[in-house]
Structure 1
Amino acid sequence: MLMNAVESALVDSAPRRLLQRYEAHLLLELGGRTPGARTAELGCGPGYGTQLILDLFGAASVDAVDLDPAMLAKARRRLRRHGDAARLAGGSATDLATAFAHVGGGTDASYEAVFDFAIIHHIPDWRDALAEVARVLEPGGRFFFDEVTATALARPTYRVLFDHPTHDRFTTGEFLAELPRHGLDVGDRWRTRIGGDYLFGVAVRAARGRT
């Protein structure tokens, strides 16, 4: 689901970049760096998260997907200095194989880490997105996520300013309970902020065949 004009402007603002850096450091504390890793990002927006994955987490490459052509254009400009380390594609987070076909990504066990900087709550079929994350992660690969829960989306500010799926929103408990159904073990590597509005965590992909 595409962001509306208000949220699109917000995600490309200086305050959002400061907040995203704070979020990235929380994820770093929970899951560590990814030096030299091949990684993927769900919903890259204007590319600041992609930049953090490369510069802060130390990934060797990021395959990043987004639905919005305007955001992809901004991300390409921001990430120009990274060259082929940042490979951007238009497409859906629930079908990474199609989105990344031109770079040979999105296949089973393609990545050592997948990053979600507050994107899955925009996806109506959010369980399908988690299944896709699990499919493309190699055994032992890490899923870094920060998410906005149903608690936050029910607040007046979110309801008035932003557009989000109105059905099947997830609470913290529902999101965490869904992870092991896809072979993703989060253990105690998760935290919430602001009364459960925001969820941060790192889940590890189990060996294939285990759920």
Structure 2
Amino acid sequence: MRMNRVESALVDSPPRRLLQRVEAARLARMGGRTPGARVVELGCGPGYGTKLILDVFGAARVDAVDLDPAMIHKAAHRLTRYRGRVNLAEGSATDLTAAFSAFGGGSDAGYGAVFDFAVIHHIPRWREALTEVARVLQPGGRFFFDEVTATALARPSYKNLFDHPTDDRFTAGEFLAELPRHGLHIADRWRTYIGGDYLLGVATRLSSGPGHDDA
């Protein structure tokens, strides 16, 4: 689900970029950096998160997807100096193979990390996005997530200013409970709540597949 005009403007504002720097630094402390890795970003937006993945996490290459062609255009402009290290694709986080088909990405479990900077709560079929996360991650690969929960989305500020799916929203607990069903293991020290509204964490893809929490 695309963001409305208010939220589209907000995600490319100085306050959001400052907050995203703080979130990225926190995630790096929680789950480590990804030097030299080939990674995926779900919902690149205007490209600032992509820049942080390259600069803060040290990824070698980012394959990023977004539904909004206007955001892809903004990201391409912001990331000009990273040419050769970034692939941008218009498409859905629930079908990375289709989105990345032009440059041969998304069809194999070869990525070292997947990044979600507050995107999955925009996806009506959010469980399918988690299926894709697990599918493209190599065993031991990490899923870095920063999410907005149903608690926050029910607040008047979110309801009045932004557009989000209204059905099947997830709480922090529901999101965390869903991860192991997709073979994604999260340790207690790798997650944190902020007032129940937001959730930051890092999960690792198990080598044994979904439903076998043997990490």
2:6 equivalent to 1:6: yes
| TM-score, length basis structure 1 | 0.98
| Contiguous gaps of at least 5 residues in structure 2 | none
Question: Residue 207 of structure 1: SS of its match in structure 2?
Answer: coil
Distance (whole Å) between structure 2 residues aligned to residue 71 and residue 99 of structure 1: 15
Indicate the residue corresponding to 1:36 in structure 2.
36
DSSP 3-state at the match of 1:84: coil
Distance 1:190 1:26 in 2: 10
Per-residue Cα deviation, 1:132-170 (whole angstroms, up to 9, x for no partner): 000000000000000000000000000000000000000
SS at match of 1:124: coil
Q: Distance in 1 between matches of 2:8 and 2:85?
A: 25
SS at match of 2:46: coil
Letter in 2 for 1:10: L
Distance 1:187 1:181 in 2: 15
How far apart, in 1, do the equivalents of 2:210 and 2:164 lie? 33
The amino acid of 1:122's aligned partner reads H
One-letter amino acid of the structure 2 residue matched with residue 138 of structure 1: Q
Q: Deviations over 1:44-63 (max 9, x none)?
A: 00000000000110000000
Aligned to 1:69: 69
Question: Superposed, which structure 2 residues align to 1:1-211 within 5 Å?
Answer: 1-188=1-188, 189-193=190-194, 195-211=195-211
SS at match of 2:16: helix
Secondary structure of the corresponding residue to residue 97 of structure 1: helix
Cα distance in 1 between the residues matched to 2:109 and 2:71 = 27
RMSD: 0.7
**Cα distance in 2 for residues equivalent to 1:164 and 1:3:** 8
Aligned letter for 2:50?
A: T
Once the two structures are TM-superposed, the CA of residue 110 in structure 1 deviates from its matched residue by 2.3
Amino acid paired to 1:11:
V
Question: In the TM superposition, what is the alpha-carbon distance from 1:208 to its structure 2 partner?
Answer: 4.2
Query: Using the alignment, how far apart are the partners of 1:23 and 1:177 within structure 2?
Result: 22
Q: What amino acid maps onto 1:54 in structure 2?
A: L
Per-residue CA deviation, residues 100-131 of structure 1 (Å, 9 max, x unaligned), is 11111101312000000000000000000000
Runs of 4 or more above 3 Å deviation: none
Alpha-carbon distance between aligned partners in 1 of 2:55 and 2:91, rounded to the nearest angstrom: 24
Q: Which runs of 5 or more residues in structure 1 are unaligned?
A: none
Structure 2 CA distance, aligned partners of 1:3 and 1:123?
Answer: 11
**Could you report, residue by residue, the CA deviation over 1:64-83 in whole angstroms, capped at 9, with x for unpaired residues?**
00000111000000001001
The question of whether the paired residues in 1 share the 8 Å contact of 2:184 and 2:210 is answered with: no
TM-score (norm 2): 0.96
Once the 2 structures are TM-superposed, how far is the Cα of residue 84 of structure 1 from its aligned partner? 1.3
Percent identity between the two aligned chains:
72
